[in-house]
Amino acid sequence: MIMKTAVLKRVDLWSLCKIAFVLYATIGFVFGLFYGAIIAFIASFGAMWGDHMPGIGHLSGVLGIVAVPVIAIGYGCLGAVVITIAGALYNLAARFVGGVVLTVDVTDLSGPPSA
């Protein structure tokens, strides 16, 4: 086992943006499913309201379906922008004070495991 130190002096903003978008869009998709289910549940009460609010059931049902991709894409875009700005600020700060020091374990995995 060989321990080496490395300094993270710069973060590639485009790769950071892509990863952040995928992660936040996935989280937004899960939240979208949750909120879409709540909105669809509310739509099921449209029949109970009868003449007081005609069409509320259909409108809520459509909103429940549309909420999933809208929330996923919106959350992905917002998260990617915020994380990319944070990465740019990190690059700026690292230029003046140095980067984050990382200690990594470099192990040869091709040979037999050591006991």
Domain boundaries, the chain: 2-106
Q: What percent of the chain has pLDDT over 90?
A: 48
pLDDT band of 57, cuts 50, 70, 90: low
More confident residue, 54 or 34: 34
How many Cβ atoms from other residues are within 10 Å of residue 19's Cβ? Answer: 12
Instruction: Look at the block and give the residue holding tokens 């739509």.
Output: 43
Cα torsion 32, 17, 102, 106 to 10°: value is: 90
Mean pLDDT value across the chain: 84
pLDDT surpasses 70 at 30: yes
